[in-house]
Structures are given as C-alpha cells and as structure tokens.
C-alpha cells in the first residue's frame, strides 16, 4: 500500500517536473519568436523557411496520397450504409464534413509526426549527443533561438497549410469514388458538397491543425533534448517522440471535438 502510494507520488512528481520543463521550453520559444525580434535580436528567418519547405511542401506527396485514399475509403464505407436507404447522394455530405472537421487534420498531423516530428527529435538528440548543443551555448548562441524557434514557426504554419490541401484532396478522393464506383451523378455530388459545408467546418479543422502543429513540434523538441546515452538513446527518444505526439494529437482532437460539440 505504501509502495503504491510512493509510486503514485513519484509518478506525480515526474509528471509535474515534465510539465515544468515543457513550460520553460514554451516560454523560451515564444520569447525568441515574439520578444526577441522586437528587441532586435533577430529571428533565423532563412532557417524557418527551409524548415517550412521540409515540413510542409515535401510532405505533400505522401499526405496527398494518403488523404486521397482515405477520401475513397470514406465514400465507399458511407455508401455501404446509405445505399440501403437509397441515400447515396448524401455520401457527399458525410465525406465533406468528416474530411474537413476530422480526417484531413488528423491524417495530416499523424503523417507529419511520423515524417518531421521524429526527424526533429532525431536531429536535436544527435546534436545533444555530439555536444553540438553545448558548442552553440559556448559560442553564446541560444539553442532555443537557433534550433527551436525556426522549427516551431515553420511547423505551426506548415501543418494548417498542408491540412487545407489535404481537405481538398480528400473530398476529391470521395468524389471520384462516388462518381466512378458508386455511380452518383457528378453534378449532384458537387451540389451536395457545396450545400453541406459551412465556414465553421473549415475553421474547426484548421484550429485543430494549428494545435496539432504546436504539439508535434514541442514533443519533438522536448524529447530530443531529453536524450541520454549515445545512438541508442537517440533511437529511443525518436520512438517515444512519435508515440507521445500521436497520443497528444488524439487528446487535443478529443478536447476540441467536445468543445465544438457544445458550441
């Protein structure tokens, strides 16, 4: 019983410690993004652009491909139920609403976690192991400013941008499957899609994706700096970064879904 209490206590302390360290990281990052440039300490804009291209543009082929296929799947699965009611024209509604509000932001976030969240962790962890982070500090360069701030800015912009494109591709995938496989007339499908969508759906999807981006970057960076040991430690942190990140994405998704359900 005492052992259990002790374990819960230690677990709580660890969790609080992690929260504290993540908060310090957040405050530092925001400082270097907002206050730093105002005080004339500069922002590594070129680095941010390079990261944006890497996180966003280079992820388009895989995100596009996956989202197209998910669109097809959504359409065919919806048709399975709707067909019984002779309501195949409503496939359009289901695909459009679930793509914008849920599936496109989620799939994009998970893919970018696997592609770039893991890369961020591996990069930072390797730099810690090779003493490159120490070297930056000794040179008087703040690692948060130099490494984290540009990545953070790039990620928070890249995820929503890719998500918008993913939304269109997913809807297009659903359209193609419905028209070609199920046999819904194209004009009806387009009409239903336009009629069913509200600005609110787009706003909800994009709001979520911004928070997904924040989570991916911070988990990636935090796990990277946590590294201990050599190459093995880098591997362990990378795995744990992806797992934590996906877990957080689902939690954030749940929170927003509940929130918007009542709003």
Partner 1 sequence: MADFTDPIIVVEDLVAKYGDRTVLDGVSFSVRRGEIFVILGGSGSGKTTVLRNLVGLMRPASGRILINGEDFTSMSDAERIDFRKKMGMSFQESALLTSLSVGENVALPVREHTKLENSTIDIMTRIKLELVGLGGFENYLPSELSGGMKKRAGIARAMAMDPEIIFYDEPSAGLDPIVAAGVDVLIRKMQETFHLTSVVVTHEMESVRLIADTVCMLKGGKVVAIGTLDELERVDHPYVQQFLARRPDAEEGGDSSYARSLTGVD
Our finding on whether 183 is near partner 1 (CB under 8 A) is no
Distances (CA, A) of 169 to 103, 112, 183: 11, 16, 19
Q: Which is nearer to partner 1, 64 or 220 (CB)?
A: 220
x-marked contacts with partner 1 along 143-182 as a string, rule CB under 8 A: ---x------------------------------------
Candidates 31, 54, 87, 142: give the one binding partner 1 (CB under 8 A). Answer: 142
How far, in Å, CA of 94 to CA of 89, rounded? Answer: 10
Q: Considering only 111-119, 130-138, 186-194, 212-220, which stretch makes contact with partner 1 by CB under 8 A?
A: 130-138
Q: How many secondary structure helices (H) and strands (E) does the chain include?
A: 13, 0
Among 114, 74, 101, 59, CA closest to 208: 101
Candidates 18, 45, 135, 254: give the one binding partner 1 (CB under 8 A). Answer: 135
Candidates 8, 141, 203, 250: give the one binding partner 1 (CB under 8 A). Answer: 141
Our finding on whether 140 is near partner 1 (CB under 8 A) is yes
How far, in Å, CA of 23 to CA of 16, rounded? Answer: 10
- CA 197, chain centre distance (Å): 23
Distances (CA, A) of 256 to 209, 212, 217: 11, 11, 19
For the bound state, the minimum distance from the C-beta of residue 123 to partner 1, rounded and expressed in Å, comes to 8
Our finding on whether 131 is near partner 1 (CB under 8 A) is yes
Helix (H, G, I), strand (E, B) or coil at 262: helix
How far, in Å, CA of 144 to CA of 240, rounded? Answer: 21
Candidates 10, 12, 45, 137: give the one binding partner 1 (CB under 8 A). Answer: 137
Helix (H, G, I), strand (E, B) or coil at 131: coil
Q: Considering only 83-91, 101-109, 126-134, 192-200, which stretch makes contact with partner 1 by CB under 8 A?
A: 126-134
For the bound state, the minimum distance from the C-beta of residue 44 to partner 1, rounded and expressed in Å, comes to 9
Q: Which is nearer to partner 1, 136 or 164 (CB)?
A: 136
Decide: 48 and 217 in contact? Cβ < 8 Å.
Answer: no
Q: Which is nearer to partner 1, 1 or 139 (CB)?
A: 139
> Using CB under 8 A as the criterion, which residues of the chain lie in contact with partner 1 when the complex forms?
126-127, 130-132, 134-142, 146
């Amino acid at each position: 019983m005492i052992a259990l209490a002790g374990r819960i206590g230690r677990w709580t302390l660890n969790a609080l410690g992690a929260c504290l360290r993540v908060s310090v990281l957040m405050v530092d990052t925001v400082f270097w993004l907002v206050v730093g440039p105002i005080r004339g300490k500069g922002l590594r804009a070129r680095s941010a652009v390079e990261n944006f291209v890497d996180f966003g543009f280079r992820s388009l082929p895989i995100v596009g491909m996956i989202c197209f296929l998910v669109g097809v799947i959504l359409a065919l699965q919806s048709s399975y139920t709707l067909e019984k009611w002779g309501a195949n024209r409503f496939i359009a509604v289901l695909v459009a609403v679930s793509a914008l509000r849920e599936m496109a932001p989620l799939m994009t976030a998970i893919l970018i976690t696997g592609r770039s969240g893991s890369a961020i962790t591996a990069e930072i962890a390797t730099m810690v192991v090779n003493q490159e982070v120490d070297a930056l500090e000794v040179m008087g360069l703040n690692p948060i400013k130099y490494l984290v701030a540009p990545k953070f800015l790039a990620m928070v912009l890249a995820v929503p941008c890719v998500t918008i494109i993913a939304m269109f591709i997913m809807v297009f995938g659903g359209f193609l499957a419905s028209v070609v496989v199920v046999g819904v007339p194209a004009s009806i499908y387009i009409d239903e899609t336009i009629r069913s969508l509200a600005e609110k759906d787009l706003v909800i999807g994009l709001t979520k994706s911004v928070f997904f981006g924040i989570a991916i970057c911070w988990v990636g960076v935090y796990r990277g700096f946590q590294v201990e040991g050599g190459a093995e430690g880098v591997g362990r942190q990378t795995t744990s970064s992806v797992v934590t990140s996906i877990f957080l994405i689902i939690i954030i998704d749940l929170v927003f879904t509940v929130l918007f359900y009542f709003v």
